[in-house]
Structure 1
């Protein structure tokens, strides 16, 4: 989104007040479109059309595609909204807490955040093979979890020795959407049941690694 100075330059004799007003209106329109897209998916419409998004946002279809040049830019903006909502629900867990407490608090938090991401993750699965933006979104979400795992379980990962990367990969599968989707959608577990299974898996992986470091890959 261009700032006021850019808009002023493009507008020639436009006054700063007019520029600021247009910028604010454009930002409100963009926000309404992104929130409409997010809401429709959250309500179960995994493939909302441009017409439905525009209607929900209270804007014209032309306004939708004026503000977003294609679906990829809309996917990026919607993911940014998702990340902001996840960040609002995220709290830092101290790496100095006892092992069992860290595992429990981490898995409870992951369950909360994965339930937030669930509708958009399910929708993304449909178009992800054909969307570079959705693929990038997925990679960034996984990278954030891996960073958190590395910080929270640094001691246990170090104890795995040469198998550290393999252990981190296993933990990543267990605590990101791929594992959560299997538990919730394929096995039909409740949120509490899926969270307990995640906790058991994370505990087993870390305890086993501390007891006898696994071999590195290849």
Structure 2
């Protein structure tokens, strides 16, 4: 006979496995270009019942929050690694390159979340937090350039996810081409006025 604690632990583990499969299924569907995969599609991809999806995630904000945590975990090493360059132009290249890598990895989720942000408190807060974090990193990593408020705003715009998205989607540039544009625009902002 199986003891009750072992049965409970088995159920708990199966529940955690189902939850992970649901999150991964949602991410896969988004990466494949589905902006708003329905619960039925997610359940089918995760190989779980529809009721299981709703049992683990009572609303979409809960699922978005779990996806966001998963993505943050995937990016943790990239975000935590200190910049190696000692001069501001070298730090700019490193910072832009890292953002390009991060933006490419979050691209599908950000586009899906943008489509739903107007009706999701979590997605609105998550986006605001990302913007704030990126601004803080910019001020920390390029302090001389960011001492001028106008230059700070221009750098924040040029190095934003929205600028990256426009270059990649609307303007159809390849990753390396988009990075070159970002670097050229940001480098121009770092040059002293009149040069």
> What's the TM-score once normalised by structure 1's chain length?
0.80
Q: Which residue of 2 aligns with 1:141?
A: 130
Alignment of 1:1-218 (within 5 A): 15-90=4-79, 92-94=81-83, 97-158=86-147, 160=148, 163=149, 166-208=150-192, 211=193
State whether residues 139 and 146 of structure 2, in contact with CA within 8 Å, keep that contact through their aligned partners in structure 1.
Answer: yes
The Cα RMSD (Å) is: 2.1
Q: Partners in 2 of 1:156 and 1:66 — Cα distance?
A: 50
How big is each residue's C-alpha offset from its partner over 1:85-133, in whole Å with a ceiling of 9 and x where there is no partner?
2224445243762222111111111111111111111112221222211
Q: Partners in 2 of 1:22 and 1:206 — Cα distance?
A: 57
Q: Partners in 2 of 1:107 and 1:54 — Cα distance?
A: 37
**SS state of the match for residue 191, structure 2?**
helix
How big is each residue's C-alpha offset from its partner over 1:62-98, in whole Å with a ceiling of 9 and x where there is no partner?
0000000011111111111111122244452437622
Q: Which runs of 5+ in 1 are unaligned?
A: 1-13, 213-218
Q: Partners in 2 of 1:84 and 1:201 — Cα distance?
A: 30
Count of paired positions: 192
State whether residues 157 and 206 of structure 1, in contact with CA within 8 Å, keep that contact through their aligned partners in structure 2.
Answer: no
User: Whose Rg is larger?
Assistant: 1
Q: Which residue of 2 aligns with 1:5?
A: none
How far the C-alpha of 1:16 sits from its partner, in A, is 4.2
Change (3 A) 1:207 1:50: same
Q: Which moved more, 1:17-26 or 1:44-53?
A: 17-26
